[in-house]
Structure 1
């Protein structure tokens, strides 16, 4: 389909709640393919439909570790266990990272791209990524819950200062 522009912080679409999908349509399948194309054109691990301008409850997470990507429609986190504090970034807020507390383990349910019910129990970075993308569907950005946010210093920035 197409690589879409990723909306940046400040775009009002990112702060709106996404619509639930009753029946998966051809338009939804196009959105899913656009999410895949856009995610794989960059270096992120997750992308939610609002980030490319669609207010639909769909996200993709791919840790790029050889496991299958997770595409979830109408996700709902049904259980949160423990806490974990770690660094997060966002394709909609490039150049910055923040420390965010998330559940250590979650149980999430939703549908896959074929409409089949999926229930997952995940931990660690995958749980963090799913929580991050689910937040996007509710108009929540990671910065809303970050303890600290700081500008990322790229290696070429460091190299040019040392020259």
Structure 2
């Protein structure tokens, strides 16, 4: 699949991206599109093209697989992201991380702010940083505002793992990768996380690797 020209109008570029059908290409860290931030969505794609783009994001996220995907991760600098988490985890992990199933939803022009003083730290990964994970301390609850794909207002408090997903994907829209917020000493390969740090919390990793938790 060819790379659409950065100078083409957004709608034209999105049409080019969707032309091949199937999952889109997820860009990796080092691509400037992940650092430039995004422009607010204000009808640039039109309802029909927006629906097709959202569906492509859904297909791409599920194929990866991941629990969220932001438009810049497929090269589109619009403030749009999708999230979905079936949360197939053991009960002890669910309780420790607050990871509960999240239905598919679209976030348009999202923003978040901490809701309360609590913070939580867990290993986090990213489709644009393949092969690695690191511990990120984030607000345990956030107030999410924005719209959905139909323009309906969002204003809700999100907690637990869904709050982490919301923050991770909204950060992408601001040109921020999870590594910018991570504990550097926690950086681990997927293999190391699976073999050593699969516990419900990262306390053992913090002791062994030498970093602090909130």
Q: What TM-score, normalized to structure 2?
A: 0.68
**Between structures 1 and 2, the one with greater strand share:** 1
Matching of residue 76 in structure 1 with residue 76 in structure 2: no
Report the equivalent of 2:207. Answer: none
Report the equivalent of 1:131. Answer: 167
* Higher RCO by CA contacts (8 Å cutoff, separation 6 or greater): 1
Matching of residue 102 in structure 1 with residue 133 in structure 2: no
Matching of residue 40 in structure 1 with residue 62 in structure 2: yes
Moved more, 53-62 or 66-75: 66-75
Q: What TM-score, normalized to structure 1?
A: 0.88
Moved more, 133-142 or 41-50: 41-50
Are 1:2 and 1:33, in contact at CA under 8 Å, matched by a contact in 2? no
- 1:152 corresponds to which of 180, 184, 190: 190
Report the equivalent of 2:73. Answer: 51
Inter-CA distance 67–98: structure 2 relative to 1 (3 Å threshold): closer
The aligned runs of 1:78-93 (5 Å cut-off) are: 78-81=113-116, 82-93=118-129
Are 1:79 and 1:108, in contact at CA under 8 Å, matched by a contact in 2? no
Structure 1 residue ranges, 4+ long, deviating more than 4 angstroms after superposition? none
Question: SS of 2:58's equivalent?
Answer: helix
Question: SS of 2:34's equivalent?
Answer: helix
Q: CA offset at residue 32 of structure 1? A: 1.1
- What is the alpha-carbon distance in structure 2 between the residues aligned to residue 17 and residue 27 of structure 1? 21
- Superposition RMSD on alpha carbons, in Å? 2.2
- What is the alpha-carbon distance in structure 2 between the residues aligned to residue 28 and residue 128 of structure 1? 25
Are 1:31 and 1:54, in contact at CA under 8 Å, matched by a contact in 2? no
Deviations 1:126-150 (A, max 9, x none): 0001000000000000001110312
Unaligned runs of at least 5 residues, structure 2? 1-20, 88-100, 196-214
Unaligned runs of at least 5 residues, structure 1? 158-163
Matching of residue 122 in structure 1 with residue 158 in structure 2: yes
Question: SS of 1:69's equivalent?
Answer: strand
Deviations 1:74-104 (A, max 9, x none): 0011443221111100000011000101110
